[in-house]
Amino acid sequence: MGGYDYDLLVIGSGPAGEKGAAQAAYFGKKVALIEREEVLGGASVNTGTLPSKTLRETALYLSGFRQRGLHGVDLALRRAATVDEFLYREELVIAEERERIADNLNRHKIVHVWGDARFVDPHTLAVRRPGWPEAQISGEYVLVATGSSPFRPPMYPFDHAHVYDSDEIVRVDFIPKNLAVIGGGVIGCEYACLFAALGVKVMLIESRPTLLGFLDGEMSLVLAERMRHMGIDLRLGETVEEVTLLARGVALGLKSKERFEADIVLVAAGREANTSTLALDKAGLVAGKRGALEVDAHYRTKVPHIYAAGDVIGFPALAATSMEQARIAVVNMFGLEYKESLSPILPYGIYTIPETSMAGETEESLKQKNVPYVAGYAKFKDNARGKIIGEDFGQLKLLFGTQDRKLLGVHVLGEGATEMVHIGLAAMLQGATTDLFIRMCFNYPTLSETYKYATYDALGKLKAAK
């Protein structure tokens, strides 16, 4: 360790911090993990990924939403949900995940250090904890995995009881009748769907003309159609110009001169990296846009022994990618013969209702690259499993190259989309062509069988084009 206290100092216990620390400790490195909050897990466990997905499942259960498409099932809410019911399962899941993380760190003999960390010099961190004297620890390497926090546009009074950011909404103290969601990104769309499933009247306001611009354009339009079908009032290309506090809610004045009153306003205007308290200048680093750290392909910053991973480096800011980034950072910093780079194709899972997920190219990206392609479709309503579960809106879309018939992109919308996408992802990583899905035998009845029929659809179009 060359006189350092530890081989690796990790700042943050979210997905990147936990997995990076465990990866290093697994290979025999002496690791200390520093966490400023009183609980482990970061935003992913406590205010972000896990709570929001648990609340989604709770909303679907309490509302009976999954059964609404079945013949003879009442379309109305099964019953009104209370806040206690809504939050109960979330609290259990969070507590269990915190315990799992603690067990994982203890099992790997990782030292826990509680408190706020800041750089003293490139190899040394000062850690301050209320009621304790400040301590300094040093490391040969440092992994910054401090995550992110909701960006708070100054026009919104977040100290008001009815204005929430995306971290606060998981502790909502009543279920509103009306909700305004500001922002049509991943978080905004997910929460709009979640509350709509509970019977809340939702308006989603997005300044851009489409939802989730990184999705395949056609799938974005289908998702928007489905959200409108749920009763969500989508205001695309719209902005909020005025915010007025009411006795029991908030009034929003829109650019279109409309006025909308809501019991709760959820501002989902993106996130910013948690770097402002790190004293980066002492380490020779400078934060970029919204506090993000710039890294190379190995997740190394401009200071060779300091790495960064997860939300703190910006897009895609997903728990799954954060874990892998941190593992790769550790492998590269210590020269471990394990895996040196991130998968060239990543899955994106959006937990809207219905779910949507993608991997690989979109129609827009293929057109931009002048790559000839064909799209094959399979509708869940034509699939036996889809009929059984009442999945009328779901679909699978596969993009194949016209020259070599290689699978280039997979896009799924509907029940189980975030699971189904992995079949296509694995196929693309192996360079598979249409032959793979034609030859495969799928369990029946399953939604996965749509891979075969989407491929047949693509082959039919290729044949017709000859």
Q: How far is CA 175 from CA 47, 178, 403, in A?
A: 18, 9, 53
pLDDT given at position 71: 47
Which one has a higher pLDDT value, 291 or 61? 291
The superfamily CATH assigns to domain 163-269 is FAD/NAD(P)-binding domain (3.50.50.60)
pTM above 0.85, yes or no: yes
Q: How confident is the model at residue 79 (pLDDT cuts 50, 70, 90)?
A: very low
Which one has a higher pLDDT value, 36 or 79? 36
User: Which token pair is 445?
Assistant: 């009845």
Q: How far is CA 386 from CA 59, 62, 115, 294, in A?
A: 21, 22, 50, 44
Read off the amino acid at residue 449: E
| Range 211-215 average pLDDT | 94
Domains 6-150+272-334 and 163-269 fall in the same CATH topology? yes
| Range 11-32 average pLDDT | 95
Q: How confident is the model at residue 57 (pLDDT cuts 50, 70, 90)?
A: confident
Within 8 A by CB and 6+ apart from 370, the residues are: none
pLDDT value at 67 more than 80: no
Residue ranges per structural domain of the chain = 6-150+272-334, 163-269, 354-465
User: Which token pair is 402?
Assistant: 């016209």
At the top level of CATH, which class does the domain 354-465 belong to?
alpha beta
User: Which token pair is 460?
Assistant: 């039919």
6-150+272-334 folds as: FAD/NAD(P)-binding domain (3.50.50)
